[in-house]
Amino acid sequence: MSIKKPRIAILTIRNTYNYGGVLSSLKVAYEFVSKYFEPTVFFLGFEPDVAMQLKKLKFSATAQSLSYFGMNCIEIGARWAFWEPGHYRLTKRMWATYLKDFDYIFVVSGTCIAAHPAQMLNKKYVMWVATSYQEDRAERAKKLRGIRAGIDYFAQEPMNKLERTILQQASYIWAYSLYAEKDFLSKLNSTKPDHVVRCGYPIDESKYQFIDEPKQEAVIAVGRFSDPRKNIAMLLRVFQQLYELNNKLILYIVGMKPDAETLFPFIHFSSFHRIVFTGQVSSEDLHLFYQRSQLMLITSYQEGLGIVGLEAMHYGLPVVSTDCGGTADYVINGTTGYLVPINDDLAMVQHAHAILSNHYHAQALSFNAKQLIAEQFSQQTVYARFKEGLITAYPELAQHFEARDLDERMHYEHRNNRPHVHLANQP
């Protein structure tokens, strides 16, 4: 008999571009909890059909059910969307209505602010979070002007206070990286050291298939390059110098392309015609680009982890990255790649060229990269960390997990050990 699954709410944010690390993590979390729970994803919405719209004299917000990448979701419309400290508080009544029947809450987001509904309703919750609020938005905030800059200035202290409260009330926190773990513990003054652990991100080998794709003299960078945090200026400067050393090189820039104003200072580079802006691509096509390439570059100002680096290393690509936070968990100098200071173009060029021009060195880094992913970032390893955290927060789940796992094993054995029926010999 199958064990009944309890309901669980996954609180997250929805990016309108449907791309990036938060969405990847949401899919992972949804897949994991679906084995043991009946999940519903909740996120705040800003679209006209649900959110308050002053220009249209619409002063109310509503909620709607929808399917988002195959996930069962409820979108709750925002009110006064320009004032971030009020995003959730001003819709508290709706959150209370929709979350009242959920005893289990799993927060998946870039920062912990998505946990605000659970925190203000005094519900128990666990969080899988990449970075702190201010670290996540530091480069974007520099671009704000006028009224938006003023609003942001006055919002900073309320948001920092809210973040500390959310961290304090969380029953368990999975930090993407050691960098994030240390940051969260510093904000907690180490009051819950056993409830904040480095978790990482799982690489499911069944979804990252190897195809016989011929290698090119190519370097790859993956990300939402419309975000100033990705530091595309450094990427383009570094590739220009690599191109001067080898004019056969190609640079694949995969992801959201920056605007023309950002690219304009670089269009005169002799290497510019060797850059391929692919835009957003499917997972299958992204994996093909990984397998065509020889090296990944990460030039970010800040990364909570940098999931794309893990994906690239699964395919054996060494990674040369800025020392921007989470990448230090897997970019090990001289072993899987190299870390360089932010905006140190020369150091990145030197290490990248050394890898691209020395086949044996590249092969050694490639082997180590694949080994590290298999040992530390496997699906089995990260799922075990999820279970441990959930059981710490909700002790009754230990028996539930055991029963569900046993039930699954019995079904598997039944499917694969059916009695063999011998048919009588036919004349």
Q: How does residue 153 score in pLDDT terms, banded at 50, 70 and 90?
A: confident
Cα–Cα nearest to 33, from 98, 105, 100:
105
The DSSP bridge partners found for residue 138 are none
> What kind of fold does domain 205-376 have according to CATH?
Rossmann fold (3.40.50)
What is the secondary structure of 213-247 as a DSSP string?
PPP-SEEEEES-TTSGGG-HHHHHHHHHHHHHH-T
Query: Do the beta carbons of residue 273 and residue 244 sit within 8 Å?
Result: no
Query: Model confidence over 254-304: pLDDT tens digits?
Result: 998 888 999 999 999 999 999 999 998 988 899 999 999 999 999 999 999
According to the model, what pLDDT value does residue 423 have? 42
CA distance 255 to 40: 28
User: Is 28's pLDDT higher than 50?
Assistant: yes
Per-domain boundaries in the chain? 7-202+378-407, 205-376
Please count the other Cβ atoms lying within 10 Å of the Cβ belonging to residue 190. Answer: 10
Query: Model confidence over 84-93: pLDDT tens digits?
Result: 777 888 899 9
Residue 282 has what DSSP assignment?
-
Exposed e or buried b per residue across 282-296, where buried means at least 16 C-beta atoms within 10 angstroms of its C-beta = eeeebbebbbbbbbb
Please count the other Cβ atoms lying within 10 Å of the Cβ belonging to residue 54. Answer: 10
User: Is 421's pLDDT higher than 50?
Assistant: no
C-alpha distance from residue 354 to each of 181, 365, 367 (Å) = 33, 12, 17
Q: Tokens standing for 48?
A: 């006209």
CA distance 241 to 236: 9
CA distance 242 to 271: 9
Cα–Cα nearest to 197, from 210, 188, 207:
188
CA distance 82 to 165: 22
Whether the model clears a pTM of 0.85, i.e. scores above it, the answer is yes
Query: Model confidence over 301-358: pLDDT tens digits?
Result: 999 999 999 999 999 999 999 999 999 999 999 999 999 999 999 999 999 999 999 9
CA distance 326 to 310: 11
In the block, residue with structure tokens 């991100």: 201
User: Is 426's pLDDT higher than 50?
Assistant: no
3-state secondary structure of 209: coil
Query: Model confidence over 193-204: pLDDT tens digits?
Result: 789 999 999 998
Mean per-residue pLDDT, 173-177: 96
- Tell me which CATH homologous superfamily contains domain 7-202+378-407: Glycogen Phosphorylase B; (3.40.50.2000)
Rg for the chain (alpha carbons), in Å?
A: 24
| 7-202+378-407 against 205-376: fold identical | yes
According to the model, what pLDDT value does residue 409 have? 72
DSSP element (H, E) containing 295: strand 295-298
Helices marked H in 203-344: 232-245, 260-263, 283-292, 307-314
